[in-house]
Amino acid sequence: MVKIMRESLQKITSKIYGSRIFPIYLGAICHISRLEYRNLMRCFELIKVMDMDWDYLIVLDACRFDFLLKILNPKYIIKYYAGLSLASCTRDWLLRNFNHYYNDVVYVSANPYISNIEYKGFNGSRHFYRVESVWSYGWDQQLGTVHPREVYKAVLHLVKKYPYHRFIIHFVQPHAPYIGRKGMYLKEYIEKNIGGITYKEEYIHKIIEYVWKGRINIYDVIDAYLENLQLVIEYVYKLTDYLDGKIVITADHGEAFGEKGVFFIPAMCILKSLY
């Protein structure tokens, strides 16, 4: 049933994408979703990560709780629950969660939103004892992202250097670019149509555009997303085997795959799948 609805909505949006109707359609969806947010707040606890009890907080970028449950190995999980993120995008998640200076926290990040300089209104050095910008040296030009192994290696080094600090460990995956087999297939398909991809944002924007237009089936994207999730979770397992302390796995936000006719992370949309 869900598959039929997703594919039907994709057919509808492919007809109106790029037309004058499309912004009206998206605006209406966002307006309805904001009304729905009140109901979500009644059903789910707001996740304020600095109020939680952890020694190591592992952040999976754009990770949906329902998709995570599909692939998790039960032996690594003591307990789990669904909560509501404070935001539907990384920038807002940072601004709403980290309002003070935390001198006991080292932030290891593959996401460029967290750095030692101000970017989009957030400067990590004003909030954390140390920011390790893995993206600045671990970026893979071919993949257009940071492979999770680079974050894993950085953590192994830093926990020895800062044994008495807490750690926030922020992986890019399962967020696009998709770097598994299906993801590489989608990348090749896009490159054939536009004559090459020069940077990460172009790849992501084209994936979004082609899904909205109906040129890429949303289920191919979901498969690619799950490949990314499976890849990063293997490094999460390695960290849980290595690290000594309380480990919490969370996400900054989710991802929309056709719910209410919305795909990916459109600004100002408040959907359960995004939070």
Query: What DSSP character marks residue 52?
Result: S
Give the global pTM.
0.87
* pLDDT at position 209: 82
> Between 159 and 201, where is the model more confident?
159
Lowest mean pLDDT among 162-166, 177-181, 254-258: 254-258
Residue 258 near residue 5, CB atoms below 8 Å? yes
> Between 258 and 157, where is the model more confident?
157
Number of domains into which the chain is organized: 1
Among 90, 87, 91, residue whose Cα is nearest residue 271:
87
Widest CA span of the chain, in angstroms?
56
**For residue 189, what are the domain limits?**
2-274
Question: For 103-149, what is each residue's pLDDT tens digit?
Answer: 999 999 999 999 988 888 899 999 999 999 999 999 998 898 999 99
Determine phi and psi for 131, rounding to 5 degrees.
-115, 120
Among 59, 108, 103, residue whose Cα is nearest residue 85:
59
State both tokens at 255: 């991802």
Average pLDDT on 85-91 reads: 88
Query: What DSSP character marks residue 104?
Result: E
Please state the length of the chain.
275
State both tokens at 101: 């200076």
Pairing of strands 139-140, 145-146: antiparallel
State both tokens at 145: 């992202």
* pLDDT at position 272: 54
Residue 6 near residue 256, CB atoms below 8 Å? no
- d(CA 44, CA 193) in angstroms, rounded, equals 42
- d(CA 244, CA 110) in angstroms, rounded, equals 22
> Between 203 and 71, where is the model more confident?
71
Beta-carbon contacts of 228 under 8 Å, excluding residues fewer than 6 positions away, are 173, 174, 175, 176, 178, 179, 180, 183
- Residue 201: pLDDT over 70: no
* pLDDT at position 86: 87
> Between 224 and 205, where is the model more confident?
224
* pLDDT at position 22: 66
- d(CA 57, CA 251) in angstroms, rounded, equals 10
- d(CA 91, CA 206) in angstroms, rounded, equals 22
